[in-house]
């Protein structure tokens, strides 16, 4: 039996903290829960209550030298992360990304059945998977 109740944080480097923060707030509606003066940006994922699940954005000290281009994803440590959404959220996110000109790539989950998935990249090239119930 797992002793883990859930994930508390996923921490990502950000080349431009404001651009990346806007991406996660505008597309996913994530709530900024850290004080504005804190350089790291803590975003709540999911419902309030207890220890929150968070995406934490950390400004990279050497963004020009560190970030592999989007075409060199194999050089990154993080393969991808995934957000679970409901049917409506899935459809709304897909449309929002397409309307903003963000490339949307569809896939088939190798383990979960009766789900739909698509992938997008955040401004720093991190691949995000969106998983929702099948139609």
The domain spanning residue 87 has which CATH number? 3.10.180.10
40, 61 contact by CB (below 8 A): no
Cβ neighbours around 114 below 10 Å, total: 8
| Band of pLDDT at residue 71, cut at 50, 70 and 90 | low
Out of 63, 93, 117, a domain closes at 63
Does residue 108 share a domain with residue 52? Answer: no
| Band of pLDDT at residue 68, cut at 50, 70 and 90 | low
81, 10 contact by CB (below 8 A): yes
| Band of pLDDT at residue 62, cut at 50, 70 and 90 | confident
Distances in whole angstroms, Cα of residue 83 to Cα of each of 3, 39, 40, 45, 68? 22, 24, 21, 9, 23
**List of residues 6+ apart from 91 with CB closer than 8 A:** 132
> What is the model's pTM?
0.87
Number of compact structural domains in the chain: 2
- Which range is least confidently modeled, 26-40, 49-63, 88-102? 49-63
């Amino acid at each position: 039996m797992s002793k883990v109740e859930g994930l508390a944080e996923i921490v990502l480097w950000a080349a431009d903290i404001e651009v990346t923060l806007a991406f996660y707030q505008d597309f996913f509606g994530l709530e900024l829960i850290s004080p504005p003066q804190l350089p790291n940006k803590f975003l709540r994922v999911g419902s309030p209550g207890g220890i929150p699940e968070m995406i934490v954005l950390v400004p990279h000290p050497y963004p020009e030298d560190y970030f592999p281009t989007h075409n060199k994803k194999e050089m990154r440590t993080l393969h991808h992360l995934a957000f679970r959404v409901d049917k409506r959220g899935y459809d709304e996110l897909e449309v929002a990304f397409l309307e903003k000109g963000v490339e949307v790539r569809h896939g088939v989950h190798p383990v979960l059945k009766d789900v739909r998935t698509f992938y997008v990249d955040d401004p720093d090239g991190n691949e995000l998977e969106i998983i929702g119930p099948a139609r």
